Structure 1
Amino acid sequence: MKTSTFFAGLAVGSVAAAVTVLYSTPQSGSEMRSSVATASADMMAKLKDVKGRVNELKDSVSDFASENVQPAIEGVKDSVGGWRTADPGSRNRLESEIHEIQSAIEELERSVAAQQNN
């Protein structure tokens, strides 16, 4: 194949492709640039809106935490402090009941293990 024939075919193919693209494009260049600019402006507005909503959410969470979480923490601290200062009889009784519960759980675990071995 001659080089001139190859380049002639390449030129004809390129021209055919360019004509096909020009006639199949739904918008002209200026219309396309205009629609891209409009879409870009819309995306920037939406991004700004999302950023504002994220800041509102952050402020809302911060307000919720300061209004609700801190009082709950203080309440738990007060309860634990009250339990520590409870009269020794109540405290000893609670510790005894906890020990009995732990013993019952250990006995139950041994019983289940023995049944599984059989």
Structure 2
Amino acid sequence: MDKSRFVWGLLTGAAVSATAVLLSAPKSGPEVRSQLRATSTTIKYDVNELKAHFQEMKTSLQQLITSAKEVAPDALQGMKESVDTWQRETAPIQAKIQQDLEAIQKSMDEIQQALPAKKSDKAG
């Protein structure tokens, strides 16, 4: 749904309902006209305020998008460099861990071969 259409619909509904309330109230003609003028002025002021807020939000969003376009590539490059550095620095450690795991596996195999075999036959 288009935001501006929604806001205009909301404002139109508020104006119509305010007018209906004013016309159904038990007041004299001059009082009703005076109140209608006041309500009209208030609604115009509120619409102008909303326009200003929407313009501020639009400007802020455009600035945010521009900043993100400028910052994102640098941040991505920095992350790539950090990952590359981490991989280079941890490669020797990973190789050492792999060697240790292989040595442990070899030791376990030797221990397993040195243990006497279990008897599968039960006395009985």
Query: TM-score under structure 2 normalisation?
Result: 0.45
Query: TM-score under structure 1 normalisation?
Result: 0.47
| Higher RCO, 1 vs 2 (CA within 8 Å, ≥6 residues apart) | 2
More helix per residue = 1
